[in-house]
A and B are shown apart, each in its own frame.
Chain A
Amino acid sequence: MTAANVIFCGIVIVTLTGAFLAVWLKNVFYNALGLILCLFGVAALFIYLDAEFLAVVEVIIYVGAISIAIIFAIMLSRPWFTQHSRRDPAKLSRALISATLLFAGLVGVLRETHFPSVESGDVSIAGIGKSLLTTYALPFEAVSLVLLVAIIGALVISSPKERS
């Protein structure tokens, strides 16, 4: 086992540990911190996959914006004081069984499928920019419109005045 393999395994373990902490712990604030750990791990995996730009995007948008917004909402709603309800074992086992079945199914499909390997292509950031502004210009504009509508919608929904 080479050093590169050990580092890769470390990143995988960090990612999966973060994901586990993000779903298992009862304190929602710790969940958000686990999510941040997991997102850093996914960003490192993106670097392994020749997608440096996406790694930076992942850290800036997910860690810098989305996780901070989630922590902001946790702070505003104080759920960890009011909600320490006990876990229902029946519900827990149902969720565990469904997730395990899903995982087993996915692993089975992965083992059966043969993925053809292709090695050519332009992996540079310039290639991404070119295709965003030529082939995928229309979806790009649509996504910007969606973001604008989402911002306006969030402002309208969370405005403090009571609507009748």
Chain B
Amino acid sequence: MNPASLQSYLLISSALFALGIFGLLMRRNLIAMLISLELVLNSASLNFVALNKFCLPDKSLGQVFVIFIVALAAAEVCIALSLILWFYRKQETVNVEDAKELKG
């Protein structure tokens, strides 16, 4: 692990991505799945910033993109948590396998 090489950052972000996908596939708790999704988004932003530092002439482009990712993650979490809470009030559970009915 060398702080001056692009490969180490890309390796870390792939590990974060794989862990996030693992959590998304394994967990059945909706909130835990949301937490895993945050890991995936973070690995994407880490990738953007690393490639921005090492491979891009315009150094502000990747950072602007990560700001957009953070803003969209905030919006996504806001909507997802309100949906989860609504589902919990309706069904008394946050297990995704109990979410079988489409009618709201």
Residues of A within 8 A of B (CB): 4-5, 8-9, 12, 15-16, 19-20, 22-24, 28, 31-32, 35, 38-39, 42, 45-46, 48-51, 53-54, 57-58, 61-62, 65-66, 69-70, 72-74, 76-77, 79, 82-83, 85, 87, 91-92, 94-96, 98-100, 102-103, 106-107, 110, 115-118, 120-123, 127-128, 130-132, 136, 139, 143-144, 146-147, 149-151, 153-155, 157-158, 163
Contact = CB atoms under 8 A, between A and B. Distances in A.
Nearest to A71: B31
Contacts of B32: 23, 28, 31
Interface in B49-104: 49-61, 63-64, 66-68, 70-79, 81-86, 88, 92-95, 104
The B contact surface, by secondary structure, is: helix
Interface residues of B, number: 75
Contact of A45 (B31, B46, B56): B46
B26 A143 contact: no
Given A22-B36, A35-B39, A73-B31, A46 B81 contact: no
B39 A12 contact: no
A49 B53 CA distance: 6
Nearest to B14: A106
Nearest to B81: A73
A12 B3 CA distance: 10
A45 B70 contact: no
Interface in B9-35: 9-12, 14-23, 25-29, 31-32, 34-35
Contacts of A24: 23
B26 A91 contact: yes
Given A23-B35, A51-B66, A127-B59, 18 more contacts: A8-B3, A12-B8, A19-B15, A19-B19, A23-B36, A42-B46, A51-B49, A54-B49, A62-B42, A70-B34, A74-B31, A83-B93, A102-B21, A121-B56, A131-B58, A146-B75, A147-B71, A158-B86
